[in-house]
Structure 1
Amino acid sequence: MKIVFTAEYEGDLQVFRQLGELVVEGWAIGKPKLSSQQYIALAHDAEVIVTSYDDITAEVIAGCPQLKVIACTRANPVNIDIQAAKQRDIKVLYTPGRNADAAAELTLGLMLSLARHIPQAHAALKRGDFTRPTQSGNSTQAGLRRDVVWDVSADSPYEVFKGGELRNKTLGLVGYGNIGRRVARLARAFGMEVLVADPFVAAEDIDEPGLHKATLQQLFNSADYVSLHLSSGPGTDGMINASLLSTMKKGAYIINTSRAAVINEQDLIDALRHGPLGGAALDVYHQEPLWQEHPFITELDNVIITPHIAGATRESIAKHTAMIAADLQRFIAGEPLLYQWR
């Protein structure tokens, strides 16, 4: 069996070598995405493709007549033509939950950053704000112990960056899948109340002290922080709009580490400019990379932005590598596949 491997990976590929002839190319060795013609030239006689970001189009599938399995090391194989694969009875594998811990932890990091103004404080010190020009220290008056304090004034960092605590605040989770469940567990460890809006989860499955199901409207009315954990699609794209945003508490925050399409971007910008939102933390955008003159960069100081890195951990890559290897072993053994796309 020939395996063409163009996915990012962590560790060695010995398991894949044991399964057959292994060709490692493209993104796996630091090269750019392959074009359709490049992929066909590489995989025209392959039975298995393992990719992360290459576009496996109908043209590629047609150009690889031996193909039996397409494995995508992502939670949503958007770069695979699923229908073209189904027509050939080609199995499509994916890796659900492989970066759930990473995305959940970044979500909590963004919440803490919003609450405590961590990025702004860091950037201010790096600019030289609130610092002293020399190494000279403060003197301590007789009879007093040395006091370590930055400054005592309305312009001191203690006042400028004064924030709030997560404890006893309400977090609203829109979506309660692999990532949402982990965020709930972490947030409750911080002492937060958690509301969940997810039509596919029964109230009986989540109703316990500190964790309750709510309607989307109830969640937006009540939450101090709203965190989005949705897939993009016809039923969710643009779902977070001006109507919902306008009902949020004054000074509330919204975090999105899922898909940018679920928020109407202009409505979000308006809510950040004029209220009621106190701020937002975003890892995903309608166009990536972000435009240099985008308001998130040039205008809105109440927005914390990261460049789509929620799943970017070595552990996530190690997980997806192991998941695909294990399912390919099951495929060869004729066993049921655990990670076959529906």
Structure 2
Amino acid sequence: MDAEAISAATGLRVIARAGVGLDNVDIPAATAAKVMVINAPTSNIVSAAELAIALMMASARNISPAHASLRAGKWARSKFSGTEMFEKTLGIVGFGKIGQLVAHRMKAFGMKVIAYDPYLSAEKVSTLGVKLVELDELLKNSDFITIHLPKTKETVNLIGEEALSKVKPSVHIVNAARGGVLDEAALYKAITEGRVAGAGIDVYATEPCTDSPLFSLDQVVATPHLGASTEEAQERAGIDVAHSVRKALAGEPVPDAVNA
């Protein structure tokens, strides 16, 4: 929904997104037209967190290339030696609801968790058993990095060439948040040069994406934006947004309105 579409819809009162991301909605244009924009911000928290964890584990244990090798008729156990997550350091970039859920679950794996989030206090984060650090410190000390940031002007290519020059060569990086926060070209370069061990990617700067150079790498496990693709998350999103639309049209307060 861009400005042109919004201005053409003269009777439009509500734009509802049965999910979280609003990259495809011109929120300032909607606000100027007095159109309420609604999403379902908590609908996919569990599903998104679980996918990030799945990608992390798949990368650590070479599950994608090992599966492909076995299907090709090979039994190459020695080729796919992985790494444990136990007692490793997990760096979470963006410590909102999804990042916090990932932290909670991965602490149960015995991981040490650190986080970067410029909008949270160290005191608040410490109550969750997590240490808040600057981004540079996170990059230098993490064995696994998972990104949980929205795509904004400030976060586009936040994890790019400069950031990737600071990580351990043994690091595994996961992005199941928003495409464009992780610079895919810089990641490809870092992996092929041996500066990043592996990655799990679910989101891309341009979608649909079917021809990324990353797809050619055994060190990358990739999925087609499946973060919210569970029956439970889709049902939850539909119910949540339907309740919000009803409230909006009835003139009631709408907690999930993003521009009201």
* TM > 0.5 fold call: yes
Q: Contact 2:147–2:174 (CA<8 Å) still a contact in 1? A: yes
Structure 2 residue runs without a partner (length 5+): none
Q: Distance in 2 between matches of 1:79 and 1:249?
A: 35
Q: What's the counterpart of residue 185 of structure 2?
A: 266
C-alpha contact 2:60 2:198 (8 A) present in aligned 1 = no
The match for 1:279 among 183, 198, 202 is: 198
For the residue of structure 2 that corresponds to 1:261, the secondary structure is coil
Q: How does 1:117-266 map to 2 (within 5 A)?
A: 117-130=62-75, 156-157=76-77, 159-208=78-127, 210-266=129-185
**Which structure has the greater CA radius of gyration?**
1
Cα distance in 1, alignment partners of residues 246 and 208 from structure 2: 37
For 1:13-28, list aligned pairs within 5 A: none
From 295, 298, 301, give the equivalent of 2:213. 295
Q: How many residues align?
A: 259
Deviation at 1:313, TM superposition (A): 1.1
Identity of aligned residues (%): 36
Q: CA separation in 2, counterparts of 1:59 and 1:126?
A: 49
Offset of residue 208 of structure 1: 4.5
Moved segments of 4+, more than 6 Å? none
Per-residue CA deviation, residues 126-162 of structure 1 (Å, 9 max, x unaligned), is 11112xxxxxxxxxxxxxxxxxxxxxxxxx51x2222
For the structure 1 residues 244 and 84, does the alpha-carbon distance in structure 2 shift closer, same or farther, using more than 3 Å as the test?
closer
Q: 1:260 offset after TM fit, Å?
A: 2.3
3-state SS of 1:341 partner? coil
In structure 1, distance between residues paired with 2:169 and 2:155: 25
Deviation at 1:240, TM superposition (A): 1.1
Task: Work out which of the residue numbers 310, 319, 323 in structure 1 matches 2:236.
Answer: 319
CA separation in 2, counterparts of 1:261 and 1:307?
A: 15
Deviation at 1:291, TM superposition (A): 4.5
Secondary structure, in 3 states, of the residue corresponding to 1:260?
A: coil
User: Cα distance, 1:332 vs. partner?
Assistant: 4.4
Query: Which residue identity lines up with residue 327 of structure 1 in the other structure?
Result: S
Question: What secondary structure is seen at the aligned counterpart in 2 of 1:328?
Answer: helix
TM score, norm. by length of structure 2:
0.92
Q: Which residue identity is paired with 1:166?
A: M
Q: Which residue of 2 aligns with 1:114?
A: 59
Between 1:194-203 and 1:75-84, the stretch displaced more is 75-84
- Residue 180 of structure 2 aligns to a residue whose secondary structure is helix
Write out per-residue CA displacement over residues 84-140 of structure 1, whole angstroms, 9 at most, x where no aligned residue.
32223221111112111111101111111111111222222211112xxxxxxxxxx
Q: In the TM superposition, what is the alpha-carbon distance from 1:83 to its structure 2 partner? A: 2.7
CA contact (8 A) 1:172 1:225 kept: yes
SS of equivalent residue, structure 1 residue 262: coil
Alpha-carbon offset, residue 271 of structure 1: 0.9
Cα distance in 1 for partners of 2:247, 2:150 equals: 28
Q: Which amino acid aligns with 1:297?
A: F
Q: Flag structure 1 segments of 5+ consecutive residues without an equivalent.
A: 1-55, 131-155
- Taking the aligned partners of 1:338 and 1:209, their CA distance within structure 2 comes to 25
Q: Distance in 2 between matches of 1:209 and 1:330?
A: 34
Which of structures 1 and 2 has the larger relative contact order (alpha carbons within 8 angstroms, sep 6+)? 2
Aligned-partner Cα distance in 2 for 1:110–1:188: 17
* Structure 2 CA distance for partners of 1:82 and 1:126, relative to 1, 3 Å: same
8 Å CA contact 1:193–1:210 kept in 2: the answer is no
Give the RMSD, CA atoms, in angstroms.
1.8
> How far apart are the structure 1 equivalents of 2:96 and 2:156?
17
Contact 1:192/1:210 (CA < 8 Å) preserved in 2? no
TM-score normalised by structure 1 residue count: 0.71
Please give the alpha-carbon distance, in whole angstroms, between the structure 2 residues aligned to 1:70 and 1:315.
23
Give the AA of the match of 2:25: I
Which letter does structure 2 place at the counterpart of 1:119?
S
Q: Output the amino acid matched with 1:217.
A: D
Q: How far has the Cα of 1:264 moved from its partner? A: 2.4
Give secondary structure in 1 for the equivalent of 2:228: coil
Q: 2:62·2:219 contact (CA, 8 Å) conserved in 1?
A: no
Post-superposition CA distance 1:228-254 (Å, at most 9, x none): 111111111111122221221121111
Do the aligned partners of 2:48 and 2:98 also contact (CA within 8 Å) in 1?
yes
Question: Which residue of the other structure, out of 34, 37, 40, is the alignment partner of 1:95?
Answer: 40
